[in-house]
Amino acid sequence: MEIPNLVFSVWVFSIYLCQCRNGVEGSHEVYRNLQSVETPQISIASTENRTGYHFQAPKNWINDPNGPMYYNGIYHLFYQYNPYGATWGNIVWAHSVSTDLINWTPLDLAIYPSKPFDINGCWSGSATILPGNKPVIMYTGIDKQNQQVQNVAFPKNLSDPHLEEWIKPDYNPLMAPTPANGINPSSFRDPTTAWLGPDGHWRVLVGSQMETRGMALLYRSKDFVHWVKAKDPLHSSNGTGMWECPDFYPVSENGMDGLDTSTMGKGIKHVLKVSLSVNKSGDYYTVGRYIHEKDLYVPDNTSADDATGLSYDYGRFYASKTFFDARKNRRVLWGWMNELDGEASDIAKGWSGIQSIPRAVWLDRNGQQLMQWPVEEVESLRGKQVSFHEQLLKKGDLLEVDGITASQADIEVTFHLPRLEEAEPFDPTWVNPQILCNQKGANVNGSIGPFGLMVLASDGLDEYTAVFFRIFKGQDKPVVLMCSDQSRSTLREEVDKTTYGGFVEVDLRYGKLSLRNLIDRSVVESFGGGGRTCITARVYPTLAAGGKAHLYAFNRGTEAVRISKLNAWSMRTPRMN
């Protein structure tokens, strides 16, 4: 559908920005100095760094995934999008559909500024399936007073299998900041998927803050029209800043199946995730108990309740959103990955931003952290395969994995470790894995490690991205460090080459440690320890682009490690918008 020019002429003066440069991510920060800047018209640019099988638009800027859902046999993904250029501006809800989460068809824009309650912007939100199998979207609008308010939209025609048109009732907004409720009108956004309590009342969370305290504000409703703010937040944490894009959902203590968002009871824990842009930006979560009688969430205290705690992903991954996939009884996670090569490059190539491969999410058997794994449908893209078994890697060994398309590949490898008594001692002051990975990069020899994979590598190794492990001897058990080292990923000076890291809480009693990498031209998604630790990197190789890319297994530790098995596949390109 075409958006009236009048709407955009009004809208352009105040709108939501999801801008990420120099490591700072703020998914709803308003850059007023840019609001009168016209976004350039850009044509599609074909570049070797454009991804082959990750979700992205044919051109232009995209950011937060919004309102993902499964409805009547169709997967829906909405996302923040600029129809007119590869830089921020003119943000709308774009809409694509799929039957397999891999092949995607674009539809007309779903939600865009058109009413007094969203005339200055349509920001992030979520989808809920109401009784009677009726989907509804709740989203943040920016009203005529530039306040953040919460609105709903409904499909115009439920018989339309693609739900292409959405209408906004005039009783919007449902929730608004007022002097009486004490809500900051510029810190009130990103409603979650709603859930239905045993008392028959709907509940939804909205991200907010009070001074430096991040909060998940709770609202209740009997009819999904009239909403009342609870006296206390569901949860809050001091010093965390604004809680963007909150997500709240149940997980089973007894298996990998996902649960409908309204499920609660025995054998169930809950996850609260927030996107933080203060200090170390990212998507952080805790696992805990939801006391529904009091509408209170209590973390288990097994992880810090701030940006030093558990993260979905320790690399470039933000503004994530999950949904319950009733088709396969799983919870599926999407996350946005921004570009790191600068705005001028975005304009030149004609696009900016991608979404992660959708991941299945479930609770680890230890009950303390989540597991994540690419949805099984991605395996349908696997093509030519090569395999290794029982391959010893001594110090300095570099083993090429040849015979596949190394720039667009899926690799699964299991390492067998030597005697852990030979590991370097772990210093208890090493609490920040990213700093540790910077200090002990891929070229710093250790005892057990660094060992892993060099991906998107050039002839002569002038360019490569190293994803690797190091094993340390802890006080009670081995400590596993996982790193994604981008320091030599490209010769381009303007690219952010941050090295990322995370600890892997994995049982090494049997000496096994696994790594999976999804390589896709300018993105490397890494899953360590069966999905206990995930790190996503954006890289922009020049010498190792396209058909010039190589893939290696390596070991630079003094102790030999053995590849028990390695399987690698070339990945085909699906139908992508």
Q: Which residues are catalytic?
A: 64
Handedness of CA 452, 426, 445, 558 (dihedral sign): negative
Q: Tokens standing for 567?
A: 């399987």
CA distance 123 to 83: 15
Residue found by looking up tokens 């991200």 in the block = 207
**Strand locations in 474-542 (E):** 478-485, 500-504, 512-520, 523-528, 533-538
Question: Long-range contacts: 167-172, Cβ < 8 Å, 24+?
Answer: 168/111, 168/114, 168/115, 168/117, 168/118, 170/115, 171/225, 172/115, 172/117, 172/118, 172/141
Question: Exposed, middle or buried: residue 551 (CB in 10 Å: 0-12, 13-18, 19+)?
Answer: buried
Cα within 13 Å of Cα(319), Cβ side: 31
Pairing type for strands 398-400 and 424-425 reads: unpaired
Q: Please, are residues 408 and 571 in contact by the beta-carbon 8 Å criterion?
A: yes
Q: Dihedrals φ, ψ of 376, to 5°?
A: -60, -25
The SS3 call for residue 275 is: strand
Q: Please, are residues 71 and 154 in contact by the beta-carbon 8 Å criterion?
A: no
Residue found by looking up tokens 């305290």 in the block = 213
User: ∠ at Cα 343 (29, 80), nearest 5°?
Assistant: 50
DSSP string across 77-145: EEEEE-TT-SSS-S-EEEEEEESSSSSBEE-S--B-S-STTTTT-EEEEEEEEETTTEEEEEEEEE-TT
Q: Dihedrals φ, ψ of 461, to 5°?
A: 60, 35
Q: Please, are residues 124 and 80 in contact by the beta-carbon 8 Å criterion?
A: yes
Q: Tokens standing for 557?
A: 């530790």
Question: Exposed, middle or buried: residue 118 (CB in 10 Å: 0-12, 13-18, 19+)?
Answer: buried
Q: Please, are residues 49 and 156 in contact by the beta-carbon 8 Å criterion?
A: no
CA distance 126 to 404: 39
Give, rounded to a whole angstrom, the gap between the first and last alpha carbons of the chain.
16
- State the DSSP code for 543: T
Q: Tokens standing for 382?
A: 């696997």
- State the DSSP code for 545: S
Q: Which residues pair with 282 in a beta bridge?
A: 276
The number of residues making up the chain comes to 577
Residue found by looking up tokens 């690698």 in the block = 568
Q: Which residues pair with 534 in a beta bridge?
A: 527
Q: Tokens standing for 360?
A: 């299945």
Q: Please name the helix (run of DSSP H) or strand (run of DSSP E) that holds residue 325, with its range, or none.
A: strand 318-325
